[in-house]
Amino acid sequence: MEKRPAKLSARLQGLTLPHSIQAEQSVLGSALYGSEQLAAAVSELSVEDFYDPKHRLIYDAILALTDRNEVCDILTVTDYLESNNQIGQAGGYEYIASLPDKTPILANYPQYIEVVLNHSEKRQLIFALDEIISLCYSSNEDASTLIQLAAQKIYQIRENNDNTGFERIGVVLRERIRELEERASGKAPRQLMTHYPSIDSIIGGLRKGGLYILASRPGIGKSSLALNIGHNVASFEDATVAIFSLEMSKSEVATRILISRSLMPLQKLETLRMKDEASWQQIGKALGDLYNRKIFIDDRSAISAVEIHARCRQLQLQHSLDLVIVDYLQLMGSASRRSLAENRQQQIAEISRTLKVMARELDVPVIALSQLNREIDKSGRQPRLADLRESGSIEQDADVVMFLHKPVDEEEDFTEEVIDVDFIVEKNRQGQTRKTILEFNPALMTFYESEDTLPEVPF
């Protein structure tokens, strides 16, 4: 919980911060009235969530009595405050005794708690941003670090105030059965598919809220496969795809998609002459298909997981959001000052956890690319979960871990010829783990199913 500063800055002094005295009185009054209301308040609110100093003292007394498993009512609270010489500061006996009467409708206590929490979050946001403003004037930190710190503070406010709590299993299953019924009757939105049949048969499509790790050694084609999947989802599903490329520029990413869509190798694309009319028509047809696809690309190399979360939320509010692709995880920075002092494994652990939280909160699948350790090159064996570079937490946070692996009997370097690549699902929380074979054309940066021709995409 973000604590209020010991002394308000000059910018905030004299200003009335967001609060509702009536809502705070209603929460305290209902907590002093019944055990159900008391339990709800104690589980969701802290002392700092109250704005009025009197109410903070009264609620602190309520928490102390609850912690000691003692009866909590008007008499015990006033006795506790009196014994600590705080009864006057808390408004006196009559004020505390009047609180239950200030609760308009007892059954509405969840709404009163929500109002108090909402104002508390606004105050926390004000304090956090005020601190950032002060640092902008007084600190030697560069702007990028301060932006990351601001994003981290905002993210922590949201995380610390996530009070979803317990829910009875019957309620959870009732909602789940309703989703299954809607899906069976064709009323529910269809789950996103990669449109690689063998991949979809293993992982069951891309589930909302899922974190998918796609890992390989450099040069095996993980970026190409991720972009192929992103394009398939945008084309076949008319979905919105956000691509965060920390290694390639926006132009490089877009060109890769154009090459895959037009089936024109990069070398030919860059040596076109104006008289090559057929080739220009080929490009024009591909561009016509891609132009209005809802594929958004961000190529900032220093972006952090927290900033990705914020930008995805912005995109979701402005347009929509169905799939996020991050290329790649080990290039991401860490937003928190604490993690900057830690080793890289701890930073990667924070990053992977943030991506998982983002997937669940935004209710979209996230495909994060990852490198494998160099040892896999020496052994020639298939990759394992332990080969994920820099952190074992990646495999813990991921719902699905997928590997691309070049069989040892293939040529050492890729050529323009189509080659077989093993696609291995090593972890799958919702299904099976097994391997399939994809064909990869490096010149066209395109994967496709072994038994099929290059996939057709509707124009």
The two tokens of residue 239 are: 């979905």
For residues 204 and 341, membership in a common domain is answered with yes
Burial class (CB in 10 A: 0-12, 13-18, 19+), 15: exposed
Give the pLDDT score at 423.
93
In whole angstroms, give the CA distance from residue 164 to residue 292.
38
Give the pLDDT score at 18.
92
Residue 92 in domain: yes
For residues 243 and 375, membership in a common domain is answered with yes
Give the pLDDT score at 241.
94
For residues 223 and 137, membership in a common domain is answered with no
Name the residue range of residue 62's domain.
21-160
Q: How many domains does the chain have?
A: 2
For residues 135 and 209, membership in a common domain is answered with no
What residue has token string 């979701």?
316
In whole angstroms, give the CA distance from residue 310 to residue 155.
8
Residue 81 in domain: yes
Q: Which domain-ending residue is among 117, 138, 160?
A: 160
For residues 136 and 200, membership in a common domain is answered with no
For residues 276 and 368, membership in a common domain is answered with yes
Q: Which domain-ending residue is among 142, 160, 178?
A: 160
The two tokens of residue 257 are: 């998609």
Residue 102 backbone zone (phi > 0: left; psi -120 to 50: alpha; other: beta): alpha
Q: Which domain-ending residue is among 160, 177, 199?
A: 160
For residues 324 and 416, membership in a common domain is answered with yes
For residues 118 and 238, membership in a common domain is answered with no
In whole angstroms, give the CA distance from residue 66 to residue 42.
8
CATH code of the domain containing 413: 3.40.50.300
For residues 152 and 242, membership in a common domain is answered with no
Residue 459 in domain: no
Residue 116 Cα distances to 100, 104, 121, angstroms: 17, 15, 9
Residue 435 Cα distances to 297, 374, 401, 416, angstroms: 30, 22, 12, 24
Residue 309 in domain: yes
Residue 341 makes CB contacts below 8 A (sequence gap 6+) with: none
For residues 212 and 151, membership in a common domain is answered with no
**β-strand partners of 421:** 438
pTM of the model: 0.68
CATH code of the domain containing 96: 1.10.860.10
Residue 8 in domain: no
For residues 372 and 444, membership in a common domain is answered with yes
Residue 454 in domain: no
Residue 224 in domain: yes
Report residues of the chain scoring pLDDT below 70: 1-8, 155, 158-166, 183, 186-190, 333-344, 377-380, 389-392, 408-416, 450-459
Give the pLDDT score at 162.
59
Residue 361 makes CB contacts below 8 A (sequence gap 6+) with: 309
Residue 90 in domain: yes
For residues 142 and 239, membership in a common domain is answered with no
